[in-house]
Amino acid sequence: MHDQLKDRTIFITGSGGVLGSTYVRRMLAQGARVIASDLPGHRADALKDAHGDNPDFRFYDLDVGNEDQVTEIFQRVLRDGWQPNVVLNNAAITGELLMGAGKPFPSFADTSVSDWERTLRTNLTGAFMVARQMDRDIVGKWPCALINVASMYALNGPHHAIYEGMPFKSFSAYSTTKAGIHGLTLWLAGYWAPHKATVNTIAPGAVFNGHSDEFQRRVGELIMVGRMAQPDEIADAMLFLCSAQAGYMTGQLVNVDGGFSGW
């Protein structure tokens, strides 16, 4: 099947990451129009290099923490002639992103308010602002869907011991924002239901992205299927949530975590 998303125009934040770039590739292959967005930089450039020639692909610079940019984004897309009917709140400050930027992982006691607030600004306030703009510009005008991206660390605590000696850690603000984003899903689902807009959360598990054998072994022991996910395995569920086949689902949290949350 190559037309699962043929009637979908999908707007994605943070599209250049390991999962976002996989979603973009898979969505285009299923007939969607894809409106990718991310911070300017090498991830955005790689995405434009890969898909810039595809007439079903467009890219916009967007910092989800910047209120002015978020306020304008859908009007810009609409002026350019496309009407998004699926929106993915996918952008986040992640452990892997901080590791890649050479950031330290302070203890909880040493976590600064500014680091905490920076994560909340992107992961939670950014998601709120994108949803609020969707409410202003899209909801009620045509049927649509919002998918908020949480994590296996939204409603489950991390096993801190698996991060000992690793170059990245789980951090408190991340888990807090991932729990919070599902609160936004639950609040909005009933609010938007009369307007033919659905809202769901996807909670991906641990996705392989070059992690060491030792980390894979430690985390694998906590996962029913015994291993990390490939990005395409998360995309399989994401594509379904973006499709017309998910039309009767709203207010749900979909765990795609190899059974991590199911013990």
Ligand X SMILES: NC(=O)c1ccc[n+]([C@@H]2O[C@H](COP(=O)([O-])OP(=O)(O)OC[C@H]3O[C@@H](n4cnc5c(N)ncnc54)[C@H](O)[C@@H]3O)[C@@H](O)[C@H]2O)c1
Q: How far is the CB of 28 from ligand X (least distance, A)?
A: 17
Residue owning tokens 């790689």: 46
20 binds ligand X (CB under 6 A): yes
Is 156 a binding residue for ligand X by CB under 6 A? The answer is no
Q: How far is the CB of 57 from ligand X (least distance, A)?
A: 16
Stretch that binds ligand X, among 61-69, 109-117, 214-222, 240-248 (CB under 6 A): 61-69
Stretch that binds ligand X, among 4-12, 14-22, 27-35, 210-218 (CB under 6 A): 14-22
State yes or no: residue 39 binds ligand X (CB under 6 A).
Answer: yes
- 18 near ligand X, judged by CB under 6 A: yes
Write phi, then psi, for 128 (nearest 5 degrees). Answer: -60, -45
Decide whether 7 or 117 has the Cβ nearer to ligand X. Answer: 117
Report the 10 Å Cβ neighbour count for 216: 15
- Residues with Cβ within 8 Å of 114's Cβ and at least 6 positions away in sequence, in order, are none
Q: Tabulate helix, strand, coil % of the chain (nearest 5).
A: 45, 15, 40
84 lines the binding site for ligand X (CB under 6 A): no
- What count of other Cβ atoms lies within 10 Å of the Cβ of residue 38? 27
Hey, what's the torsion of the CAs at 133, 96, 61, 20, to 10 degrees?
-70
Closest to ligand X by CB, 103 vs 195, is 103
- Piece of the chain touching ligand X by CB under 6 A; list 11-19, 105-113, 133-141, 193-201: 11-19
Calculate helix-pair angle for 113-120, 172-192, nearest 10 degrees.
30
Kindly state whether residue 16 participates in binding ligand X, applying the rule CB under 6 A.
yes
Answer yes or no whether residue 13 interacts with ligand X by CB under 6 A: yes
Q: Does 64 bind ligand X (CB under 6 A)?
A: yes
- Give the sheet arrangement for strand 9-12, strand by strand: 57-61, 33-38, 9-12, 86-89, 144-149, 197-204, 253-256
| Position among 10, 12, 19, 124 found at the interface with ligand X (CB under 6 A) | 19
185 near ligand X, judged by CB under 6 A: no
φ, ψ dihedrals at 197, nearest 5°: -125, 125
**CA distances, 150 to each of 27, 59, 180 (Å):** 20, 23, 9
CA gap 161, 183 in Å, rounded = 28
33 touches ligand X (CB under 6 A)? no
First CA to last CA across the chain, in angstroms?
33
Which range touches ligand X (CB under 6 A), out of 10-18, 25-33, 132-140, 236-244?
10-18
219 binds ligand X (CB under 6 A): no
Instruction: Give how many residues touch ligand X by CB under 6 A.
Output: 29
Judged by CB under 6 A, the chain residues 108 through 147 that form the site for ligand X are 122, 126
Tell me the residue nearest to ligand X as measured from the CB. Answer: 17
Can you give the binding site for ligand X, defined by CB under 6 A?
A: 13-14, 16-20, 38-39, 43, 62-65, 90-94, 96-97, 122, 126, 149, 151-152, 204, 206-207
